[in-house]
Chains A and B, each alone.
Chain A
Amino acid sequence: MTMAEGDLAVTELHFVRDRAIAPKPPPAAMTGAFGWVRANLLSTPFNIGLTLAIVLLLAWAIPELIKFLLVDAVWSGTDRDACREIVQHREIGACWPFVWERLPYFVYGSYPIPQRWRVDAFFAMLAVGVAWMLWLEAPRRGLGAFYFFIVLPLASFILLHGFPLIGLPVVDTVLWGGVLVTIVVASVGIVLSLPLGILLALGRRSSMPTVNLMSTLFIEFVRGVPLITVLFMASVMLPLFVPQEYEPDKLLRALIGIALFASAYMAEVVRAGLQAIPKGQFEGAMALGLGYRQRMRLVILPQALKITIPNIVNTYIGLFKDTTLVFIVGIFDFLRTIEVARIDPKWATPVTSTTGYAVAAMFYLAFCYGMSRYARAMEARLARGDGQ
């Protein structure tokens, strides 16, 4: 049928598109790296200026930093002559042999050399405990908490301080130093401040007027004064408050000061968590016939502590930084060992101080930044609502 074919030919000539054409690519200036730079760095004249200023700043700072830490750095040598411009006739950056030689002192302080394996064992035990507590899917976390809060402190004390009966000679705390003391002070603060803080927080929310008043007074008092005065109080007044024969040693005094200080801050963090628990939870627990202790242990605290984890970790970061203050009451923490080593005439050069401080800064930065990443990951996890 020729007619029909002709009809078909006519009907095929329509001008209404029944399929969408592929979209044109956006202008080259708006996409890809170029578009990103334009939108994020050069959107307005003001932004162009800012970008330029920061690029200039970074272009000056980063090469200087790399130059100091790596390019101009001295990598080997036995004394200060290796790191002196006058002797070496070149620009001198960081003086790494100084750090290398003093590393054992930075880590162990004056801990007797044959006994240093005990410190290593303590670090290893602590690492196991910390990993167990931080890893939320770890097996037997209840056992982990028991290990971390009870076994570890006792074992560490026996290991570090010594116990002649089992063949570990006593090492006086005067000899402790460096990273060891920093870690000990921080861990004691961390281990003690949480339980004490929970007790104080519960006390502050208690309906018993005496308990409430005493907790509130303690918390507000400690939070109202600087840590240095608390440490001064612990180091000069504590010996007055106990009979002469029991005078606590210097490190113990500082530990008491730090632990009390940290627990007051922890109490406020925990209290905020308790306040975030809806009233229905308390009432529900009461309706089930649970007593106060069961109510807190089984219903309220698990929820309150879970949502508080990020803030607890943030308090720990503050605590870790605050451990440097024991320096001022005469304890050889990590920062103090750096401070002592940098004025040692054997290594006295214009770059020694900066090198020492750079090492200290990297140490604290690594620890605190790690903790804050952990806190942020926890926060994200809680926000997703599957915080176990």
Chain B
Amino acid sequence: MSIEIPGGPPPVAFYNNPKVRSIVYQAVLFAIVAFLVYGAASNAIDNLQRAHITSGFGFWNTTAGFDISQTLIHYDAQVSTYGRAFWVGLLNTLLVAGLGIVFATVLGFVIGIARLSQNWLLAKAAGGYVETIRNIPLLLQLLFWYNAVLKSLPLARDSIVIAGGAYLNNRGLFLPKPIFETGFAAVLIALAGALAIIVFFGLWARRRQQRTGEQAPIVWIGLALLIGLPLAAFALNGSPLAFDFPQAGRFNVSGGIEVLPEFAALLFGLSVYTAAFIAEVVRAGILAVSRGQVEAAYSLGMRPGPTLRLIVVPQAMRVIIPPLTSQYLNLTKNSTLAVAIGYPDLVQIFTGTVLNQTGQAVSVVAVTMAVYLTISLATSLAMNIYNRRVALVER
């Protein structure tokens, strides 16, 4: 039912009509943005022409001709192209971000839980850590770890020898490199087999618990399988694994796996910094579970351990995961600070060296932004799906 206004719609001047206004505003905004974009584009074309640069991706297949200190895929300065350098940089970024996420998560959860500890000293110490680390710029922390700590390690000839055949000096950390001989595949097969058995055993144990209430010692059996089966395969195949130990020389250490000091400083700095933020996320998540939930669990006779595992954590995770993901994204974006200490990540190689050598500012910056944008948008898409799945269904 609608109310008829006698005499049609009220007399409003057309310039006061909200619909007309809305269209005018939007047209004006569109015109301004279009003008700015047009102006920027035409200026860019002019300026590039003047500098004799033809924008585009022609450089992608040109030989790069510069060295990269850490490459996860084969790369050769004389042969490899700028495109290859891009992939090297992207993989380096993903490597440091991936490892950083793992370390920051572990450290962040430990510190977040420590901040809520009954132990006054522990809670205060964790609080001090968070307040200090969060309030000092990451760049300063990275410079400190790199220039003040790692660069002041001893020279190669006085390397610190770490038990197990590793060396530490101001050129990096040198670890024994495993060499897989024929027959090592059996160990991997055993590992996969152990995982499969654990999954089936877990399913069976859960069904049995639901039926009878009896719990199976799944953790111990799982650990035994996970370690025992590959170990047995390893022994039966005649230990098909050797190590290439680093050799300490007068000026450098050769052989083994070399962990660059740039990489170590970046990984350490990122993990320590992000852990402080993750700790706050975890603390907020645990505090968001109402006290009544814990009290209810205790009144049902549950012990503190299972209460934490079965009652608090599942509910806290729902609060923790969205901000946690955004911390992961921050860590990935912050890994671009690699450029300040010379770790060859995407920005250092591509937006730094490649941009300087080719002068292709537009294409290079656009590609770099596209990479980070893709990572961000893909993560937030996944996050939205997750949120929809775990959102509380209220009565």
Contact = CB atoms under 8 A, between A and B. Distances in A.
Interface stretch (A114-122, A144-152, A224-232): A224-232
B224 interface: no
A228 B25 CA distance: 34
A232 B125 contact: no
B137 A364 contact: yes
A103 interface: no
Given A211-B29, A224-B372, A224-B377, A229 B365 contact: yes
Interface residues of A, number: 56
Interface in A342-368: 342, 350, 353-354, 357, 360-361, 364-365, 368
A369 B135 contact: yes
Nearest to B51: A240
B377 to A, nearest CB: 6
A139 B30 CA distance: 42
Contact of B22 (A208, A227, A357): A208
Interface in B341-395: 347, 351, 355, 361-362, 365, 368-369, 372-373, 376-377
Contacts of A372: 131, 134-135
Contacts of B136: 321, 361, 364-365, 368
A41 B123 CA distance: 10
Interface stretch (A79-87, A124-132, A324-332): A324-332
Contacts of A155: none
Contacts of B132: 365
A368 B50 contact: no
Residues of A contacting B: mostly? helix
A16 to B, nearest CB: 38
Given A317-B135, A357-B140, A232 B351 contact: yes
A360 B140 contact: yes
B131 A321 contact: no
B17 interface: no
A22 interface: no
B144 A357 contact: yes
Contacts of A224: 372-373, 376-377
Given A225-B333, A240-B47, 5 more contacts: A51-B122, A224-B376, A225-B368, A240-B40, A244-B47
12 contacts: A40-B118, A207-B22, A224-B376, A226-B372, A228-B347, A237-B44, A237-B365, A240-B43, A242-B40, A335-B143, A357-B147, A372-B135
Q: Which 5 A-B pairs have the closest CB atoms?
A: A368-B135, A224-B376, A241-B40, A40-B120, A226-B333
Interface of A: 40-41, 43, 47, 50-51, 54-55, 57-58, 207-211, 214, 220-221, 223-229, 232-233, 236-237, 239-244, 317, 321-322, 324-325, 327-328, 335, 339, 342, 350, 353-354, 357, 360-361, 364-365, 368-369, 372
